[in-house]
């Protein structure tokens, strides 16, 4: 079945977010779920699309789900068994629910048994998946004794393996006249062995309840994913690094930080704003923050920036219903990270609940030296020649411009500009913010050579 059930597009834009719900289970059951979904989709407050994921064999359940997972916001499974398989197998990626198989479903199965199976005795049956309390309550409602009713409850995916043998044993011992199962594979196995069997299927009312629950789960996912989030990144410069790095240190480090953050943030569609030379704000969504933090287990940016910049970095993340609330939480969080010396990042959600995020895998401190052999040989030759010609004082930075490079390398200014571009692309030079020109006109663009990478 490939048809999708869609809701009509509402005229009012101030509706709940549109969601897509995946319907999974045996094809016959999914067909019934899709029929019920039409009523749910047509309700004015819903903007929902239902996508069927029916299968012929339970072994296909994971494949069908994985095929649709990138299109859905929530999912409905046929029962607890497949739901638990998805959870335990770690292929469940969205909030999900399953169809309830309790009282009303059992009533319907007993009625169908009495109408379709000749000589059936409803007081002598075997039932799987349902708890003893559910069976006793259902039988009590219809006034039947449960003394000769045999039940094996569902106790996790591993318990399903014993369902067929349980029903077969009771039938061969002539204790039962029919087997009631919730599992398609068990129904098929018993039927091939000539054992009267019916599947306990959910009623339309219970299907409707499950679908409405899935819609709410999907709306919660969409609203949460679009909630505003901000990440504050604060540099924690040390006195030693400031003293050793020369006059350009502050602006150069800020420029490098901004460039690194832009590269990282672009991957999740976030924007970066520079508040000062040491503070940056990344604006994103809650959904993107979840991806950056790997489900709030890893600090975003912390390890990479610390290793690349060579100074401690503090990271604070905050969420909120408004940009101001998210920013306030992020700034409070980054203060806590600063107080911890940048050893952890801090996340404050819109309820001010704090979560500490550990740094990700650390980059080895010797990475710049280890990576020297992989630098473009031509760029390495250029920077070595320029550095040798400038003969800087120990600890002094090498700052050049197009004209000085052209003079040193005895090339045209155009070629000197191209050489500097090669050095920047190879990570051997960084643009320096231009100083204000006293004589008017556009100031020369200068570059600092990263001669420390030659050591």
| Per-residue pLDDT in tens (0 to 9) along the chain, 455 residues | 456 665 544 444 345 678 899 999 999 999 999 999 998 888 766 689 999 999 998 889 999 999 999 899 899 999 999 999 998 888 988 889 999 877 778 888 999 999 999 999 999 999 999 988 889 988 988 899 999 999 999 999 999 999 999 999 999 999 999 999 999 899 999 999 999 999 998 889 889 989 998 988 888 767 666 567 889 999 886 654 444 444 456 677 778 888 888 877 766 667 788 888 889 988 887 777 877 888 888 888 888 887 777 788 999 999 876 677 888 899 999 999 999 888 899 999 877 889 999 887 654 444 334 434 456 788 888 888 888 887 655 556 778 888 888 888 888 888 888 888 888 777 787 766 555 444 445 556 777 787 766 65
Q: Which fold has domain 227-357?
A: Alpha-Beta Plaits (3.30.70)
Query: Burial letters for 328-354: b for 16+ Cβ neighbours within 10 Å, e otherwise?
Result: bbbbbbbebbbeeebebbbbbbbeeee
Instruction: Count other Cβ atoms within 10 Å, centred on residue 88.
Output: 12
Q: Residues 320, 303, 94, CA angle at the centre, nearest 5°?
A: 45
Q: Where are the beta strands (DSSP E) in 384-445?
A: 398-401, 429-432
Pick the CATH number of 103-199 from 3.40.50, 1.10.1200, 1.20.950, 3.30.43: 3.40.50
Instruction: Enter the tokens of residue 110.
Output: 């007993």
CATH code of 5-98+204-223, in short, is 3.40.50.2300
CA distance 18 to 57: 31
Domain 367-454 -> CATH class: mainly alpha
DSSP string, 266-303: GGGT-EEEE-SSSEEEEEEEHHHHHHHTTTTTB-SSHH
Please, where in the chain does CATH 3.30.70.270 lie? 227-357
Residues 10-49 pLDDT 10s: 444 345 678 899 999 999 999 999 999 998 888 766 689 9
61 in Cβ contact with 55 (< 8 Å)? yes
295, 182, 223, 217: which is closest to 22 by C-alpha? 217
Q: For the whole model, what pTM was predicted? A: 0.51
Contact 99, 202 (CB under 8 A): yes
pLDDT 10s digits, 323-378 = 778 888 999 999 999 998 888 999 998 778 899 998 876 544 443 344 344 567 88
| pLDDT at res. 377 | 80
Start and end residues for every CATH 1.10.10.10 domain found in the chain = 367-454
């Amino acid at each position: 079945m490939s048809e999708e059930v869609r809701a009509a597009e509402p005229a009012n834009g101030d509706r709940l977010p549109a969601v897509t719900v995946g319907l999974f289970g045996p094809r016959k059951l999914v067909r019934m779920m899709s029929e019920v979904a039409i009523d749910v989709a047509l309700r004015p407050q819903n903007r929902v699309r239902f996508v069927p994921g029916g299968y012929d064999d339970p072994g296909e359940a994971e494949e069908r789900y994985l095929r649709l997972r990138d299109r859905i916001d929530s999912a409905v499974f046929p029962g607890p068994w497949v739901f638990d398989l998805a959870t335990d197998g770690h292929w469940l990626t969205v909030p999900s629910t399953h169809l309830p198989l309790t009282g009303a479903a059992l009533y319907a199965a007993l009625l169908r048994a009495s109408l379709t199976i000749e000589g059936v005795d409803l007081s002598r049956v075997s039932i799987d998946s349902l708890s003893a309390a559910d069976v006793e309550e259902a039988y009590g409602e219809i006034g039947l004794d449960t003394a000769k009713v045999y039940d094996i409850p569902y106790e996790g995916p591993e318990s399903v393996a014993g369902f067929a043998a349980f029903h077969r044993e009771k039938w061969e011992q002539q204790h039962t006249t029919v087997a009631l199962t919730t599992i398609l594979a068990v129904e098929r196995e018993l039927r091939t062995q000539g054992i009267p069997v019916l599947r306990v299927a959910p009623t339309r009312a219970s299907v409707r309840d499950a679908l409405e629950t899935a819609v709410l789960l999907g709306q919660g996912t969409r609203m949460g994913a679009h909630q505003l989030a901000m990440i504050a990144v604060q540099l924690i410069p040390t006195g030693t690094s400031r003293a050793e790095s020369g006059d350009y240190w502050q602006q150069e480090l800020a420029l490098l930080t901004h460039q690194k953050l832009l590269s990282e943030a672009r991957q999740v569609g976030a924007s970066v704003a520079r508040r000062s030379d040491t503070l940056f704000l990344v604006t994103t969504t809650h959904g993107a923050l979840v991806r950056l933090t790997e489900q709030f287990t890893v600090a975003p940016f912390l390890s990479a920036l610390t290793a690349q910049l060579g100074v401690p970095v503090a990271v604070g993340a905050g969420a909120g219903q408004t940009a101001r609330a998210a920013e306030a939480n992020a700034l409070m969080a980054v203060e806590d990270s600063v107080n911890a010396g940048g050893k952890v990042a801090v996340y404050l959600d819109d309820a001010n609940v704090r979560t500490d995020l550990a740094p990700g895998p650390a980059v080895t401190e010797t990475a710049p030296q280890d990576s020297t052999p992989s630098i473009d040989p031509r760029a390495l030759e250029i920077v070595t020649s320029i550095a040798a010609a400038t003969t800087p004082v120990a600890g002094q930075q090498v700052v050049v411009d197009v004209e000085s490079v052209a003079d040193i390398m005895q090339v045209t200014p155009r070629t000197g500009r191209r050489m500097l571009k090669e050095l920047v692309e190879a990570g051997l030079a960084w643009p320096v913010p231009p100083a204000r020109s006293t004589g008017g006109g556009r100031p020369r663009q200068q570059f600092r050579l990263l001669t420390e990478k030659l050591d």
